[in-house]
Amino acid sequence: MLEKITAAFNLLIDNELRTTCGTWHLKCNISAPMPFHSFKALKKITSRTDSALLHAFKDDEFDQIYPASVSALSTCHWSPVNVCRMAAQFLVTDPGTRVLDIGCGPGKFCVIGATTTQGHFTGVEQRKRLVKTACELVECHQIPRVEIRHGNITQINFREFDAFYIFNPFQENIMPALRIDYDVELEPQLYTDYTAHVQQQLMRMPMTTRVVSYCGDDGEIPACYACEKTAFTGKLKLWVKKHPAPAYASAAQSYSKENSRDIPVGVGPFALA
Ligand SMILES: C[S@@+](CC[C@H](N)C(=O)[O-])C[C@H]1O[C@@H](n2cnc3c(N)ncnc32)[C@H](O)[C@@H]1O
């Protein structure tokens, strides 16, 4: 009986994900967010013996490098290995290309990017526990060219970077079923504000700046970027800044109703002058 109820619940959530977030990459088997105390029981990443997992092609192998409570979130929240590899290849054009992962979780994309390309990968993550896991992974395996920062995307200077990776960082705010834990505040307005903030920052980047988005509705991508390549049946997209930012980029209340990807910029708590 319990199994039937669980199956029905998952089907319901699955349908919700498919309709509300049509491009969500895989069926997510949603369970209740992890309570605070469960995180305290996280296995520390200390063993050097499983370094081979870093180079695994399969997610169920790579994810074993994480504590069980973090790998359990992988299907829904962390990019698949083959997506990380291709995204990194799209973004790194020269040795040392500086890539920012916007909301890096436990650092899966950064670590795979750094072990498969010559780029430098920085991840910013608002959840302290995921930052700790990512840092332990990087330190334990002495992975070069990875930096993990604890903080909010609004504290990041985008000009430090050449390229950006975006996998649905703000979706949790509008889809409570996707909540990772209760460590951070979530609310629909934050989705709008963070998306607008990222869009505004990307708009101001130099021409030829590269962004890769995976799934999501691409609300962060300004209209001055063009989609140059896709992979994984269109779910992975490489965007390149092709046009100068429109004159209204720094003006408040500039909202183009013609372009559905544009959302109000220069407004909200994080707007820059
Ligand atoms: C869907 S996960 C993607 C993780 C990673 N980028 C990947 O592809 O495997 C989104 C992550 O973004 C983080 N996040 C959401 N909003 C954020 C914000 N405003 N600042 C920093 N991190 C944020 C979440 O905590 C979560 O770990």
The values of phi and psi at residue 219, to 5°, are -60, -20
Q: For residue 171, give the ligand 1 atom closest to its CA.
A: 1
Q: What is the pLDDT of residue 250?
A: 59
More confident residue, 62 or 30: 62
Q: What is the pTM of this model?
A: 0.82
- Is 209 within 8 Å of 238 (Cβ atoms)? no
Q: What separation in Å is there between the alpha carbon of 56 and the centre of ligand 1?
A: 23
Q: What is the pLDDT of residue 227?
A: 98
Q: What separation in Å is there between the alpha carbon of 2 and the centre of ligand 1?
A: 32
In a domain, 21, yes or no: no
What tokens were used for 13?
């959530």
Q: What is the pLDDT of residue 263?
A: 37
170 lines ligand 1 (CB under 6 A): yes
Model pLDDT for residues 89-142, shown as the tens digit of each residue? 999 999 999 999 999 999 999 999 999 999 999 999 999 999 999 999 999 999
Angstrom distance (rounded) from CA 227 to CA 237: 7
Continuous segment of H or E residues that includes residue 206: none
- Give residues with Cβ within 8 angstroms of 173, minimum separation 6: 186, 187, 188, 189, 190, 191, 194
More confident residue, 109 or 9: 109
Residue 267, SS3? coil
CATH of the domain at 152: 3.40.50.150
In a domain, 256, yes or no: no
Which of 30, 104, 158, 184 has most ligand 1 atoms within 8 Å of CB, for mutation? 104
Q: What is the pLDDT of residue 45?
A: 59
Q: What is the pLDDT of residue 203?
A: 97
In a domain, 255, yes or no: no
75 lines ligand 1 (CB under 6 A): no
In a domain, 183, yes or no: yes
- Is 66 within 8 Å of 133 (Cβ atoms)? yes
How many CA atoms does the CB half-sphere of 159 hold within 13 Å?
1
Q: How confident is the model at residue 264 (pLDDT cuts 50, 70, 90)?
A: very low
Q: What separation in Å is there between the alpha carbon of 74 and the centre of ligand 1?
A: 12
Assign residue 178 a region: left if phi > 0, alpha if psi is -120 to 50, beta otherwise? Answer: alpha
Domain count, the chain: 1
- The alpha-helical segments, DSSP class H, found in the chain are 2-20, 36-40, 59-62, 68-71, 74-77, 81-91, 108-116, 128-140, 188-203
Model pLDDT for residues 40-86, shown as the tens digit of each residue? 334 565 554 478 899 999 999 999 999 999 999 999 999 999 999 99
In a domain, 157, yes or no: yes
In a domain, 271, yes or no: no
In a domain, 23, yes or no: no
Question: Which residue type occupies 225?
Answer: Y
Angstrom distance (rounded) from CA 58 to CA 265: 40
Domain residues for the domain of 207 are 35-250
In a domain, 120, yes or no: yes
